[in-house]
Structure 1
Amino acid sequence: AANFRKSLAEMGDTLNNVETNLQNQIAIHNDAIAALRKEALKSLNDLETGIATENAERKKMYDQLNEKVAEGFARISAAIEKETIARERAVSAAT
């Protein structure tokens, strides 16, 4: 009977050790998961910041391009207007 009690006590100790080890492993895994989540969130934030920066740069380039196109059209329109006036004057002078 004493041996049986001793065996039961040893089994209880073993179970307690197993439980403690499992709790420690769970804590380690939870810490690792939290670190991975934090790293993933930082990567996502960095990506979003990068995309926002690229979009802002792209918008600036498009705005500059649109401005240059508008300036080009204005110069062409002015040149056409000037040429039209010159032709009208030439026609008027000839008649």
Structure 2
Amino acid sequence: TPYRLIQTESRKRQSSFEDIREEVKKSADNMYLTIKEEIDTMAANFRKSLAEMGETLNNVETNLQNQIAIHNDAIAALRKEALKSLNDLETGIATENAERKKMYDQLNEKVAEGFARISAAIKKETMAR
């Protein structure tokens, strides 16, 4: 039945959507970890260089902490935007599925009306004979 096809299609889309959502989350997490690792490495190298040069560690570390905070904020914003896009996609799919179901329901209703008219005509014709 068309409704069963809609359900199957909807399940496929939902499964695909969940796969996409997981990939985006993994990607965001991996991006965060990669950038954090790079920043941590940069911080370690910075500290070593500063100690060797004898500069004051506090000022540079404060700057580094600020940069880390800025990067973390940027990563959080990217992740938030990615999740918002996923939610928008999910909403679009749900809307599309609802519209498709409504269309199939209307089609089924028209088919049922047509069958009812045909059945009535056949019955009337049979009774006339």
TM above 0.5, yes or no, is yes
Structure 2: which 5+ runs fail to align? 1-42
Identify the match of residue 40 of structure 1 among 82, 86, 89: 82
Measured after TM superposition, the shift of residue 17 of structure 1 is 3.0
Q: Which has the higher contact order (CA 8 A, sep 6+)?
A: 2
| RMSD of aligned residue pairs (Cα, Å) | 6.7
Post-superposition Cα deviations, 1:9-62, rounded to whole Å, max 9, x if no partner, equal: 995544323322221111110010111111112111111111111111111101
Structure 1's 8 and 61: CA in aligned 2 closer, same or farther, altered over 3 A? closer
Deviates more, 1:4-13 or 1:27-36: 4-13
Identity %: 97
For residue 55 of structure 2, give the secondary structure of its aligned residue in structure 1. helix
Cα distance in 1, alignment partners of residues 105 and 50 from structure 2: 81
Structure 1's 2 and 65: CA in aligned 2 closer, same or farther, altered over 3 A? closer
Q: Which has the larger radius of gyration?
A: 1
> Which residue in the other structure is 2:63 paired with?
21
Aligned residues between the structures? 86
TM-score (norm 1): 0.69
Structure 1's 7 and 59: CA in aligned 2 closer, same or farther, altered over 3 A? closer
